[in-house]
Structure formats: structure tokens, C-alpha cells
Chain A
């Protein structure tokens, strides 16, 4: 099945119709959940990054700071993805064929990979290699902030 055919199928579902016709405030609510999700994600990322760079809570071991905060990071991502998925289902072709959306999804995939591999590795070590830590922080921050910029562009492209 081609992607366009798949999108047409999604568009035809009851769920898609319901979301597309839903009250404006439902959309606003989804966006609020999306915002809160990425706030939790970005703030958690920032906090662990600041610790990895030795700028905050230096009397605490890195994994101690990172552990609970990492869970919050993934929770934030989950909220953003779920609210985002619902928004997508309501207008699949509108989003899929928007270049900013495609860019955002690509950046999202890279961000998740960086987060789950390199960043996780340095955040869970007591004494990560300083260069690795800085590269991990730099890449994670760059890609996650790029995701939010691309997300912002969706409404304007």
C-alpha cells in the first residue's frame, strides 16, 4: 500500500472524522498537553545537561541527578507524541505533505536516537569522558531545539 493510500485510510476512520470536527477547545487542549510535554522534556534535558557540564548540583553524582529526571524527560516526550499523534490523525495529509512536519519527524527520530544512546551513556556514568559528555550534550540540545523550531514552522509553511 502506498503512503498516500495509507493516509487516505486514516483520513477515512471514525477517529479522524471525530477529531477533525471536534470543538476548537479540544484542539487547544491537545496543544496545551503538547506544550507541557515538551516543556518537561526540554527542562529535564537542560537540567541533566547542566549537570554534565558541571554547572549545577556538582555535589551530587551525575547518575543521581540524571535518573529520575530522565524518566520525566521520556514522560514529557510521551505526552508530546500522544497529543501529536491525535492531532496528526485528525488531518493526516495536511501534516504529512507539510515540509516542516517531515523535517520535524526526521529531527525527532535523530533526537530520540541521540537521547537513547550517547546521551544515556554519559548521563548514567559517574565520571563520563569530558569530550563525550560535551558532544552528547551539544547534539541532544541542538537536535531537540531543532525539533521545536521545525514544529513552530508547521503552522507557517
Chain B
């Protein structure tokens, strides 16, 4: 843990890390872009999940929902990760010290695994391609899981600033 803390300190002490942290505008702008980009990526994922559980866009085939939105979801995530990386660069120690951080990233990982499993396995099944009426349980489960996991990511992401230390 101490080695990680030292590494975090080294990262945030670099020229770029310091520049972002000390700049009046850089940090808030980067954080703002982080939030807008996640509105796009996580937001469109929420809409996809609502399709999977059958409460939204019921007339749109699931394959179309996945395919047409993919570009914007992935593009949004790219921006989220780049801005997230910059925010970490500026505040590495605070991030490493907060108990909320491991939970946030664990839930991101689980959400990613859920999405990957859904796309590679579940979405290829013929019942999903047919997309008629209520989707099979596997699809609905993926939808509920995704909604829950991304909500937890948002919650723990916000808690990083509010729970700075373990004790």
C-alpha cells in the first residue's frame, strides 16, 4: 500500500499533474467533460438496458439498438477514460487513499464483463435477433445488472471526494 501511495505521489507531482491541479480552469473543465462524456456513454447504455428489460423502444430490434449506438457509447467511453486518466494524474494520492475507489473500479470491471458476455454470447442467440415481445431472461438479467452496476459506479465515483480516508 505504501509503495502505491509513493507511486501516486510521484504521478501527481509531475509537471502535468501539478499543472492540472493548480490550474484554475483545467480541473473543472476536465471534470465537466468527464461528466458530459459519461452522460453520453453511460446514458446510452442505460437506454439500451431499458430496451433489454422491455420498458423503452420496444419496437426497435435489439440488434439495431446495440449496433447503431455502439459508436457513440464507445466514443463517449474513450473521452471518459482519457479525462478520468487526467483527473487521476492531478489527484492520484486522493484517489488512491479513498476507500470508494476500489469499489468504483470493481463495479466498472463487472459492468464491462456483463456487457462483454452479453454481446459475445447472449446477443448472438436467435431469440434476441427475433426481438419479439418480452426478451429471454438472460437478456433481461443483463439489462438489470448493467443498470445496477453503472449506478453503483456513479455512486462510488461521487463518494471518492466525500470519503477521503479509510478511518
Contact = CB atoms under 8 A, between A and B. Distances in A.
A101 interface: no
A44 B69 CA distance: 12
B165 interface: no
Contacts of A43: 39-40, 42-44, 46-47
Contacts of A57: 57, 60, 64-65, 68
Nearest to B28: A156
Q: Is the interface of A mostly helix, strand, loop or mixed?
A: helix
Nearest to B39: A42
A42 B39 CA distance: 6
Interface string B102-131: 000000000000000000000000000000
Nearest to A27: B162
Interface residues of A, number: 34
A115 B24 CA distance: 33
Contacts of B159: 25, 28
B13 to A, nearest CB: 23
A81 B30 CA distance: 24
Interface of B: 24, 28-29, 31-32, 35-36, 38-40, 42-44, 46-47, 50, 55-60, 64-65, 68-69, 72, 151, 154-155, 158-159, 162
Given A50-B68, A68-B55, A148-B32, 13 more contacts: A27-B162, A31-B158, A39-B42, A39-B46, A39-B154, A40-B43, A42-B40, A43-B42, A44-B47, A47-B69, A56-B68, A68-B57, A72-B50
